């Protein structure tokens, strides 16, 4: 059985409110895919071209320093 056939069978069992929610969700997925301009796979972020080549190792050899922690903010009791 194909994925499409399995989905159709499951949809036929669902009440109308569930179908309405599913329709909204599918609409948002379709819009997201339509606006995903660089061909990234579904569910994956759309990274700018050569992003990792330009950023990988950018801090290599530089020590990471944490500044002193600020005191806690005093708030009114309630």
31-44, pLDDT tens digit by residue?
887 776 555 555 56
Burial class (CB in 10 A: 0-12, 13-18, 19+), 22: middle
**8 A C-beta contact, residue 24 and residue 32:** no
- What average pLDDT does the segment 21-50 reach? 75
- What average pLDDT does the segment 65-76 reach? 91
Q: Is the pTM of this model over 0.75?
A: no
CA distance 18 to 22: 6
């Amino acid at each position: 059985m194909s994925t499409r056939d399995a989905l159709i069978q499951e949809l036929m069992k669902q009440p109308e409110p569930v179908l309405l929610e599913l329709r909204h969700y599918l609409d948002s997925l379709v819009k997201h895919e339509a606006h995903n301009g660089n061909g990234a796979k579904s569910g994956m972020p759309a990274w700018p071209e050569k992003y990792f080549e330009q950023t990988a190792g950018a801090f290599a050899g530089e020590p990471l320093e944490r500044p002193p922690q600020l005191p806690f903010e005093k708030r009114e009791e309630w």
